[in-house]
Structure 1
Amino acid sequence: MRFAVLFSTALALLTAIEGNAALKSQAVQLRDGTVYFIQPPSLGEVVTTYNGTGVWGATYYFTIGLPENAGEPLQKLTINQHEGVDYIRFDLEDTVAFEGTRKDKGQKLKLKDVSSDRKTKTVSLTFDPPVSPGRIITVALEPKQNPIVSGVYLFGVKAFPVGKKVHGQFLGYGRLQFYSPSIDSFFWR
């Protein structure tokens, strides 16, 4: 309850002083030191290059928009497989991040750490240096292979600002649909 009051008070204060440009560049920091984005990033397009089951060589793209008034740079992203029958493993060494979208690739971003936790089905990426506000970035993950079981696979994406004690902002779910080839595709017509 106390957290809710503190957080709503901080948001009300920020709304009241929205016209002050100097204060817009600062992040929300609670009394306990926890840092929040003023305006959180947003999850954009999430797509795969191949949506057939069992396919090798696919890439999954996650596009994130970091608004000008975020208040803090983006330090870390986590991508958690929330739904889907098969656990999708990734070639972490091949993970890349860049400015722009998959169709309009810009400058490559340096990743300090890319790791995976099989138990929680989560991939974590740490940017070095952190991504400054006002940019669109895309993360490209390469699965070892697409899932064998067809269906919908949901990936929850969280963004973390810079700081020692930060609040991860849930950006939403990226949805990928994988299809089994039909028997007709194996025969000439």
Structure 2
Amino acid sequence: MENCSKYRWSVALAIAAMGILPGYASTLSASTNPVFLSQQQQPPRFIQPPRFVEAVATHNNSNATTSTYYFTIRVPEGAGASLRQIQLEQLEGVEFVRLRQGKHVAFLGTRSERGEEIPIASVKRDRDRRIFTVVLDRPVLTGSHVTIGLRPVRNPDTGGVYLYRVGVSPSEESPWQVIGVARLHFYDRGNNDGVELDL
């Protein structure tokens, strides 16, 4: 009889451990499930990455002091996350330009179809790695175009092709994803190929 009672007690404990008897053990909820927690703690990332659209310098003569470099990105409907950060890594070009403090812009849409302005939280210039990092004050939702305009102190002294690898990220904790290479072309003074755009 005693052995039978011990057996029944052992079975009850085993069943309770599986969550069948709430009186003995509680079922693991989503909030305490380790797998769920690990998924929740992962930073957001793009399922379908944004698409780099274009890059334009409004004045592309060397040493021009009134130029703005525009970079346009499309965040698709199926991106799975909003866009918060944009990184430009210079791959080619003699000089790494200096930027004006607090003179940059960001807005929804393209240069030709300019929409609502988006405040910029910060623009960081890493001279050693030749990287510009732009952090927007609020995220750009899926299904939108966004354009950032960086204003240099002046264009490079030396003309030529300048290439920038474009990376994007939904948050400061998320990994960067490369979406293309932007190309800006500057011309030495006296070269008639220089272009000025009216914006």
- TM-score over 0.5 for the pair: yes
- How many matched pairs? 156
2:179 to 156, 167, 171: 171
1:149–1:134 distance in 2 versus 1, CA, 3 Å:
same
- Is 2:66 the counterpart of 1:83? no
For the structure 1 residues 39 and 103, does the alpha-carbon distance in structure 2 shift closer, same or farther, using more than 3 Å as the test? same
- TM superposition shift of 1:56: 1.0
Residues 183, 82 of structure 1: CA spacing in aligned structure 2 closer, same or farther, 3 A cutoff? closer
5+ residue gaps, structure 2, are 1-37, 194-199
**TM-score between the two structures when normalised by the length of structure 1:** 0.76
The offset of 1:35, in angstroms, is 3.7
User: Structure 1: which 4+ aligned runs deviate by more than 2 Å?
Assistant: 29-36, 181-185
Matched, 1:150 2:159: yes
Deviations 1:34-88 (A, max 9, x none): 5420110011110111111111110110000000110011121111222101111
Please, what is the CA RMSD of the aligned residues?
A: 2.2
Aligned residue number for residue 135 of structure 1 = 144
What amino acid is aligned across from residue 97 of structure 2 in structure 1?
I
**Higher gyration radius (CA):** 2
Give the distance between the partners of 2:187 and 2:172, measured in 1 at CA. Answer: 41
Question: Aligned letter for 2:105?
Answer: V
More off after superposition, 29-38 vs 106-115: 29-38
| Corresponding residue for residue 16 of structure 2 | none
Which protein has the bigger strand share? 1
Aligned 8 A contact 2:109 2:145 in 1: yes
